[in-house]
Amino acid sequence: MKAELIAAARRFNRTVTQRVGALDDEYMARGRPLAQARLLWEIGPGGAEVAVLRARLGLDSGYLSRLLRTLEGDGLVTVGPADQVGGDARVRAAVLTDAGRAEWAELDRRSDELAWSILEPLTEQRRERLVAAMAEVERLLIASMVVIEPCPPSDPRARACVRAYARDIARRFDDGFDPALSNPVHDEELVPPAGVFLLATLNAEPVGCGAVKLHRDAPAEIKRVWVADSVRGLGIGRRMLDELERYAAERGWAACRLDTNGNLTEAIAMYRSAGYREIEPYNTEYYAHHWFEKHLAP
């Protein structure tokens, strides 16, 4: 990566942290640093499970526990069984006290004031430019937060993604989707050395998947590439495709194949832009209208 890009990202981070008050020891003059204020905000009037807070904020368990103890000591939060917020009693949840709800409302008001102070010095045109730029930066930052890594196909998160994939294609295919009519993909085909299942997560929540089967004496085969609606348009599908290709290439495969349905126009466009060329059918997949192949760089 170019050094200028690294320098620009660091410069941006310095400007933002200074402008939003992240460097202040008392964020928004409320007597606590930003981390505590943000945690209080995320708990919110409805409360939240501790595990959800940990995943959403990307905090390790020890640090989150210390933050919660501080907020408890200030009389703003109570931590107990999640059934108090409609959850499982075996799970811990954080709930705002009356004082916590009042503090949350004050943070909300002051957050509006901070946003106003950022926009107010600018002309109307520059305000619109800044807000549009913020939206783009937010989308790109979210994209950079997505993690793609191997996952056992039997993992509950993998199962959930495959079910979502099936629901998605059933909605988009002309005649729906019946797994009994489709060529099966068995778990044992998606674990090393036979292949791999990759899971994409955002804040520990599954948002996409893909798999590659490493056939003996034949090109690798890409299967079940799916991305959740919440992260569509962020390039996650292309990243997943790249990771699957890389996995196959690193293990000596010189080409990848895949089949797809004609109604999946965005996927077809992605495959073509990624260098796949259409070939003759190489299988008898009931729902396939197009078959593609790509030669991989060593």
DSSP characters over 85-126: GTS-TTSEEEEE-HHHHHHHHHHHHHHHHHHHHHHTTS-HHH
46 and 177 both lie in a single domain = no
| Of residues 87 and 276, more confidently modeled | 276
The model's pTM is: 0.85
What CATH number corresponds to the domain at position 237? 3.40.630.30
pLDDT digits (tens, 9 = 90+) for 206-252: 999 999 999 999 999 999 999 999 999 999 999 999 999 999 999 99
Of residues 270, 264, 271, the one with CA closest to residue 288: 264
What CATH number corresponds to the domain at position 103? 1.10.10.10
Q: Which residues contact 154 (CB under 8 A, 6 or more apart)?
A: 187
208 and 283 both lie in a single domain = yes
CB 151 within 8 A of CB 241: no
Question: What average pLDDT does this structure show over 94-109?
Answer: 96
Q: Is the dihedral of CA 15, 16, 19, 23 positive or negative?
A: negative
Phi, psi of 81 (to 5 degrees): -60, 145
Please give the Cα distance from 156 to 181 (Å, whole number).
24
CB 239 within 8 A of CB 274: no
| Of residues 24 and 275, more confidently modeled | 275
12-26, 74-88, 110-124, 238-252: which range is least confident on average?
74-88
9 and 72 both lie in a single domain = yes
- Whether residue 87 has pLDDT greater than 80: no
User: What total number of domains does the chain contain?
Assistant: 2
* Confidence grade of residue 107 (pLDDT, cut at 50, 70, 90): very high
* Confidence grade of residue 298 (pLDDT, cut at 50, 70, 90): confident
Query: Which of 121, 137, 160 lies at the terminal end of a domain, its last residue?
Result: 121
Give the residue numbers spanning the domain of 83.
2-121
Question: What average pLDDT does this structure show over 251-275?
Answer: 97
156 and 283 both lie in a single domain = yes
Residue 29 in 3-state DSSP? helix
Q: Specify the pLDDT at position 82.
A: 79
157 and 237 both lie in a single domain = yes
Is there a domain that residue 226 lies in? yes
CB 291 within 8 A of CB 282: yes
CB 200 within 8 A of CB 207: yes
Q: Which residues contact 16 (CB under 8 A, 6 or more apart)?
A: 22
194 and 106 both lie in a single domain = no
Q: Specify the pLDDT at position 85.
A: 66
pLDDT digits (tens, 9 = 90+) for 173-200: 999 999 999 999 999 999 999 999 999 9
Compute the mean pLDDT over every residue in the chain, rounded to the nearest whole number.
94
Phi, psi of 15 (to 5 degrees): -65, -45
83 and 153 both lie in a single domain = no
Q: Specify the pLDDT at position 150.
A: 98
* Confidence grade of residue 89 (pLDDT, cut at 50, 70, 90): confident
pLDDT digits (tens, 9 = 90+) for 58-83: 999 999 999 999 999 999 999 998 77
Of residues 65, 71, 69, 63, the one with CA closest to residue 36: 71
Helices (H), the chain: 3-19, 34-43, 50-57, 61-73, 98-119, 124-145, 156-172, 236-250, 265-273
Q: CB 196: neighbour CB atoms within 10 A? A: 24
